[in-house]
Structure 1
Amino acid sequence: MADQAWAAGAPVALANWAQIRIGTGLAHLLKGDLDGTAEQLVEIFTLSPGMRLSTVTRYLADLDSRLNRSPFRGSRLAVQLRQQIQEFNAAALADDADTEEP
């Protein structure tokens, strides 16, 4: 529904969009569709560090943990996704540290 609304011109809230993509990626993962998960995450990794809100990074951290379990552990695609998630989250944390007040 959200994708349809956005396609029709509704404003996009990037954090909400990212959460929906991650949730859809998780649904693919739970069905054993690692390629579907990757398809959902590819655009998320392009979000600027300032848009990487804690809810988004927490959802990705959970997904990272799930990718490290059987049957995906060791899969080349799972390893690649985990690396991208960790880099994405690290950049978000680094950006947060840069904006903290003393």
Structure 2
Amino acid sequence: FTGEGTSFCAGADLANPPDPLKQSSDLPQDLFNNPVYQMSRLQIPIIAALRGYVVTGGFELALACDILVGDSTVVFRDTHCKFSLAPCWGLSQRLPRRIGLGRARI
């Protein structure tokens, strides 16, 4: 699993960012259109090759992978709050499981 260009993934289209007034709870939560749910159904390991920024939805996609491989340019950032979004693809559960609760809170 790779990104295009100099960064892995920002999640949303940054040219047209989500409306901060529209709550993520207002959005449909259809599991069959949820890429992280679909990734969890695969019966093969998913490897993510990371570079550059791994942000918000891209961070959640990366955490859904089984193996993460990155170079020295990787920067992880969660900006859900900036756009009034909830991490509905599992970031709040997967990050502490991967790196520990203490490190996830920093």
TM-score, normalisation: structure 1: 0.32
Report the structure number with the largest CA radius of gyration. 1
Higher RCO (C-alpha under 8 Å, 6+ residues apart):
2
Q: Which has the higher strand share?
A: 2
TM-score, normalisation: structure 2: 0.31
